[in-house]
Amino acid sequence: MHVVIMGCGRVGASLAAALERLGHDVAVIDKDPEAFRRLGPQFHGRQVLGVGFDRDVLVEAGIERAGAFAAVSSGDNSNIISARVARETFGVDHVVARIYDSKRAAVYERLGIPTVATVPWTTDRFLRTLLPEGTATSWRDPTGSVALLQLPLHEDWVGRSVRDLERAADCRVAFLMRFGTGILPESRTVLQADDVVYASALSGTITDVTSVASRPPQEEN
């Protein structure tokens, strides 16, 4: 597949190298000729000087035959404009833009442009490294409103149903990992020993959800 990357910073250069290792044909766009030095001598793709939302520059980079486009420059505006041009003008199927402003990312997601919101994503990565297992999110939507997290499940939940856990913790069980296999549970699915439970919850409730899951279930009066 031919992939066009707009931005030859550290992320763009690393992405280009990774794609080439996987056997893809890559073109990289940047307005600074010195930026291409990051690609190194092992890069065999095309280097195009210019701005990534210029039609002629995109055509020179092979956008008309591209199966994917990534906008990873240091500017939110440049990234989203070039991503929209790639999607709406040239009909590229797979388009993604790096966005620093999470609020903007939410808007562009609604416009159909997948985004990587750098700050929230990096924050969650740090949390997963710093905090005990199960207390940090595995995924968060671009607005930061909904999170997917691995629940630190107390052993006494074994034998109880997914419905019981959802009602007690005020969350939704998204899926289970059971013996290395993903399972989409029903409300009546019974939790088993060694199940790894992933649940979705509102961001402001994560502490409460994990607290309930990590304690034995409370019997109803």
Quick one: pLDDT at residue 150? 87
Q: What pLDDT, on a 0 to 100 scale, did the predictor assign at position 117?
A: 67
The fold of the 133-213 domain, in CATH, is Alpha-Beta Plaits (3.30.70)
The reported pLDDT for the residue numbered 183 is: 93
Are β-strands 2-6 and 94-99 bridged in parallel, bridged antiparallel, or unpaired?
Answer: unpaired
C-beta pairs of 167-171 under 8 Å, 24+ apart in sequence: 168/212, 168/217, 168/218, 169/199, 169/201, 169/208, 169/209, 169/212, 169/213, 170/201, 170/205, 170/208, 170/209, 170/212, 171/199, 171/200, 171/201, 171/205, 171/209
Could you tell me which residues are beta bridge partners of residue 177? 182, 196
User: What are the beta bridge partners of residue 68?
Assistant: 3, 94
Q: What is the DSSP string of 159-221?
A: TSBHHHHHHHHT-EEEEEEETTEEE---TTPBP-TT-EEEEEEEGGGHHHHHHHHTSPPPPP-
Whether residue 29 contacts residue 50, with contact meaning beta carbons closer than 8 Å, is answered with yes
Q: Is the pLDDT of residue 136 over 60?
A: no
Confidence at residue 134, expressed as pLDDT on a 0 to 100 scale = 45
User: Mind listing the pLDDT tens digit for each residue in 16-54?
Assistant: 999 999 999 999 999 999 999 999 999 999 999 999 999
* Token pair belonging to 181: 């296999």
Q: Roughly how many angstroms between the first and final C-alpha of the chain, as a whole number?
A: 61
Identify the pLDDT of residue 147: 84
Tell me whether the CATH fold assigned to 2-121 matches the one assigned to 133-213.
Answer: no
**In the structure, what pLDDT confidence band is assigned to residue 220 with cuts at 50, 70 and 90?**
low
pLDDT at residue number 101 = 75
* pLDDT tens digits along 138-194: 676 666 678 888 888 999 999 999 999 999 999 999 999 998 899 999 999 999 999
* Predicted TM-score of the model (pTM): 0.61
- For domain 2-121, the CATH superfamily is NAD(P)-binding Rossmann-like Domain (3.40.50.720)
- Phi/psi of residue 134, nearest 5 degrees: 95, -5
pLDDT tens digits, 51-100:
999 999 999 999 999 999 999 998 888 998 999 999 999 999 899 888 87
Question: Does position 119 have pLDDT exceeding 70, yes or no?
Answer: no
pLDDT at 203: 75
Element holding 8 (H helix, E strand): none
**Structure letter (DSSP) for residue 54:** -
Domain range summary for the chain, segments of one domain joined by +: 2-121, 133-213
The conformation of residue 35, written as its DSSP 8-state character, comes to: G
